[in-house]
Structure 1
Amino acid sequence: MGDLAKIFKAYDVRGVVPDEFDEETAEAVGAAFVEVTGARTAVVAHDMRASSGPLAEAFTRGATSRGADVVNTGLGSTDLLYYASGSLALPGVMFTASHNPARYNGMKMCRAGAVPIGSETGLTQIRDRAAEILKSGGVDNGVVDAGTVSTRDLLRGYADHLRALVDLSGIRRLRVVVDAGNGMGGHTVPVVFEGLPVELTALYFELDGDFPNHEANPIEPENLRDLQKAVLDVGADIGLAFDGDADRCWVIDERGESVSPSTITALVAARELAKHPGATIIHNLITSRGVPEIVAEHGGKPVRTRVGHSFIKAEMARTDAVFGGEHSAHYYFRDFWFADSGMLAAMHVLAALGEQNRSLSEILADYTRYAASGEINSTVADQVGATERVRETFAARDDVTLDELDGLTVSGPGWWFNLRPSNTEPLLRLNAEAADEIQMAAIRDEVLAVVRS
């Protein structure tokens, strides 16, 4: 048994297998999940990592030991699990470590209707109860009743649901390159794109949790190189990169240039506001300042929130927001149970591109206003100390304001940056933005010098 406090994060479970997260732990979490949530039936899915299937089976043993039935959907993306939870009105658990390296695995949990379970909404209680179960000798020491296990294939239903939300049948024919990174996009893209006016070039669709070609983490520029080259080589209209569990999608334009998720957020927000005038749009505090400006210009109400899917989903539900976007390429939709779906965001971009004859870069120029650094990670032993050094560096300057909604946000005339600790890794994450590239680079480099000193 590992240290549960180490692997239970703010809104999911994440740890190295088997040193920090093993089948015994997953089984105890399964029992605790049922006890804490009161679930009578739960739906379970898993990604392609070698450890995911056995961990999901262990969780199922724990859940059924407490009398709950389990619907096993087998292989799936995280947004397929949200579809299952929403369409079946069941609590759900996804086994994945998303973009983390192969040695990791984890769990994302939700209540019925894809309502997230985070540290403030049950995850801490599940952690504590699982620790008690492990300490008392394991799941078998408290068997109440045996639930049943059934299997259900929901991939076609998931694809049909997304295609009903964004109709791509009438768009012009597009050349699309998709890099699945050997992750779950290789499982879902072929079914979602089947029969659409899309000429698909597939990169790394073979499911392989060892990620033999590159990590399935599109936020890191080096993981986009193959996709960028392929877009240029085949003369594609667009490139799409999914992370390991395919709940995030990164966009490459026809020039092979990476597109900021803030730009995609602004584009999709404008599309949703055209259907829902005056609606609320959520953006986290790291997205470009251009996002709330564009939302307001399209008649919407922008609402700023902290980073993290459980926080954003809760704020979306509270405000009945129609859409939300994050800097990390997570996109949330009211029509998708307020949950995030990289595939649904990709379909919105394909629709925007296919409904007109302009290139993607020309379309997106209308939604890009500032120079941004993108997310830059620094491995830091003392995250608190490094953040305090940055605070001291900027706090005494004129015309500077500090904000601690999530990490440290510092704003000055024409620029801002946010420095926040990762919830899953020993990293500090920096995002900086300014009116132009020169000013942005100056702020970025000054902060990094202090963080890494």
Structure 2
Amino acid sequence: MPHLADFVKAYDVRGIVPDQLSPEVAEALGAAFAEVVAVPDGARGVVIGHDMRPSSPELSAAFAAGVTSRGVDVTVIGLCSTDGLYYASGALDLPGAMFTASHNPARYNGIKLCRSAARPVGQDSGLAEIRDLAQWMIGGGSGLARPAGGPGSVTTRDLLGDYAAFLRGLVDLSASRPLKVVVDAGNGMGGHTVPAVLGTSAGLPGLPLEIVPLYFELDGTFPNHEANPLDPANLVDLQAAVREHGADIGLAFDGDADRCFVVDADGEPVSPSAVTGLVAVREITRARAGGDAEVAVVHNVISSAAVAEIVAEQGARPVRTRVGHSFIKAEMARAGAVFGGEHSAHYYFRDFWYADTGMLAAMHVLAALGEQDRPLSELCAEYERYVASGEINSTVEDQPAVVEQVRAWAQVRGARTDELDGLTVSCPEGQQPSWWFNVRASNTEPLLRLNVEAADRETMQHVRDELLALIRSGPAAAPADPATSTSDDPSHTTSDPAAGDAS
């Protein structure tokens, strides 16, 4: 019998099919989701979508059977991106389940769950109860009363066109100068959503965009490369195609198309923190035009220092929070923030139910590029003020002891520290060139994650190398396996396309 605690994670379900996540498990999770979320919330039903993985249709159907067994109706929207599922949850005001393992290899699948209006479900907001109840059901537990009204019904709806029209209503691209855009969907759901939102496949009017598609064929075996733009190796084809076609911009989506990565006309990656700054300015301007007097923008602890600076320069309030979508969403709701960005290329919008959508962020970048004549590299230079190491992972068995070593290192230098998420260390007040870094322990692996940023490359490299030597010294520390590190090369000198948590 599978042990659900092994693959029901802090924010979602992510397991190997069928050893961990089987139809039987999916059905139990569906029934538990209905009992823990849908019924207590008084929801009229549950909306279910899935990605292109071969196992997704069977698993999502089993989950639906579990939901309906508890007397709760199901609306099936079929193939969709994760932000497409969030749209459905918001527009229909229903809790939802999205079957996807995002960028993970083909043998994996998973479930992202939300309450109505795309409100997150995590370990502290229902997922632990869902896990425990499903485990009891799989183990032969009985005693749940049969629903008085009998099983729920199943209906099917196609919301792709509505989703596309909704996004176009938030960002108008019709007046853009003509742009040539290369899009690498990685055989993931971007191949389904991009033609609808940026093209005409959903029946919407054409836009002044020439889309050059890469790997738009939906294929959950990922025959060309992993749908994980977090790894620079998976951007190589996009970079080459942008240069080959003389494109203005390149976009890369992950497997469930909720994250979007950007490269400029030279094929150079644009930091997700720069995208956060750019979109933040546009959303602040939009909010002010809509009558908002006080505007806030949320960013996580490993976002570039430039983000908070840019937000403050716009007269808005930067709000710093922990890494992870549940923290971003909760802080956005608390602060009434118009926008939130993470350096992992997750972008959250108040007008999208505080949920994340890579497509909407991409549209903002396209609009900003298309409303002026400069190339993207010049446009984004305004938002890239510092040099970053990217996230570097090190295998560390005794993480608390090593973090204390880092804290002692900081104290000797008179550096400032805080512990909002891991340990963040900033150079002494007034020191130039300025620098800061964050060290965080992984929740699931014996890894310490290091992010360093500085005013110039020499300073960043010096701080990075000194910290890596400290972290990786002694018998309890060693370099991480390259497969688990965004940048495990101590000679790394360029800002990675992303760092931090990935969906």
TM, length-normalised to structure 1: 0.95
Residue of structure 2 equivalent to 1:209: 220
Structure 2 counterpart of 1:434, one-letter code: A
Contact 1:383-1:428 within 8 A present in 2 as well: no
Structure 1: distance between partners of 2:407 and 2:78: 50
Residue of structure 1 equivalent to 2:67: 63
Residue of structure 1 equivalent to 2:255: 244
Deviation at 1:385, TM superposition (A): 5.4
Match of 2:162 among 157, 160, 173: 157
Residue of structure 2 equivalent to 1:188: 193
Structure 1 counterpart of 2:403, one-letter code: E
Deviation at 1:424, TM superposition (A): 6.1
For residue 116 of structure 1, give the secondary structure of its aligned residue in structure 2. Answer: coil
Contact 1:43-1:70 within 8 A present in 2 as well: yes
Match of 1:148 among 137, 142, 153: 153
Matches within 5 A, 1:32-431: 32-37=32-37, 38=39, 39-137=43-141, 143-144=146-147, 145-194=150-199, 195-277=206-288, 278-378=294-394, 380=395, 382=397, 384=399, 387-388=402-403, 391=406, 394-413=409-428, 414-423=434-443, 427-431=447-451
- Which consecutive residues of structure 2, in runs of 5 or more, have no partner in the other structure? 200-205, 289-293, 429-433, 479-503
Structure 1: distance between partners of 2:402 and 2:79: 40
Aligned length: 451
Contact 1:40-1:67 within 8 A present in 2 as well: no
Q: Deviations over 1:174-203 (max 9, x none)?
A: 010000011000010011112111111101
Structure 1 counterpart of 2:338, one-letter code: V
Contact 1:159-1:191 within 8 A present in 2 as well: yes
Contact 2:49-2:80 within 8 A present in 1 as well: yes
Q: Deviations over 1:106-165 (max 9, x none)?
A: 1111111111111111111111211221223589x8653311111111100000000010
For residue 216 of structure 1, give the secondary structure of its aligned residue in structure 2. Answer: coil
Structure 2 counterpart of 1:154, one-letter code: L
Contact 1:28-1:138 within 8 A present in 2 as well: no
Q: Higher helix share goes to which structure?
A: 1
Structure 1: distance between partners of 2:51 and 2:417: 40
Which one is further off, 35-44 or 415-424? 415-424
Structure 2 counterpart of 1:399, one-letter code: G
Report the identity percentage. Answer: 64
For residue 255 of structure 1, give the secondary structure of its aligned residue in structure 2. Answer: coil
Q: Deviations over 1:66-109 (max 9, x none)?
A: 11111011010000000000000000011111111222211111
Contact 2:262-2:269 within 8 A present in 1 as well: yes
For residue 109 of structure 1, give the secondary structure of its aligned residue in structure 2. Answer: strand
Deviation at 1:30, TM superposition (A): 0.6
How large is the RMSD of aligned CA atoms in angstroms? 1.9
For residue 44 of structure 1, give the secondary structure of its aligned residue in structure 2. Answer: strand
Structure 2: distance between partners of 1:313 and 1:68: 27
Deviation at 1:393, TM superposition (A): 5.8
Structure 1 counterpart of 2:377, one-letter code: S
Structure 1: distance between partners of 2:278 and 2:218: 31
Deviation at 1:387, TM superposition (A): 4.6
Residue of structure 1 equivalent to 2:483: none
TM, length-normalised to structure 2: 0.86
Contact 1:232-1:256 within 8 A present in 2 as well: yes
Is structure 2 residue 11 aligned with structure 1 residue 11? yes
Residue of structure 1 equivalent to 2:499: none
Q: Deviations over 1:24-50 (max 9, x none)?
A: 211111111111112440000011111
Which one is further off, 428-437 or 150-159? 428-437
Structure 1 counterpart of 2:181, one-letter code: V
For residue 24 of structure 1, give the secondary structure of its aligned residue in structure 2. Answer: helix
Which one is further off, 34-43 or 350-359? 34-43
For residue 276 of structure 1, give the secondary structure of its aligned residue in structure 2. Answer: helix
Structure 2: distance between partners of 1:90 and 1:296: 36
Inter-CA distance 419–53: structure 2 relative to 1 (3 Å threshold):
farther
Structure 2: distance between partners of 1:132 and 1:384: 34
Contact 1:387-1:419 within 8 A present in 2 as well: no
Inter-CA distance 423–250: structure 2 relative to 1 (3 Å threshold):
farther
Structure 1: distance between partners of 2:249 and 2:170: 21
Structure 2: distance between partners of 1:21 and 1:322: 36
Which one is further off, 144-153 or 396-405? 396-405
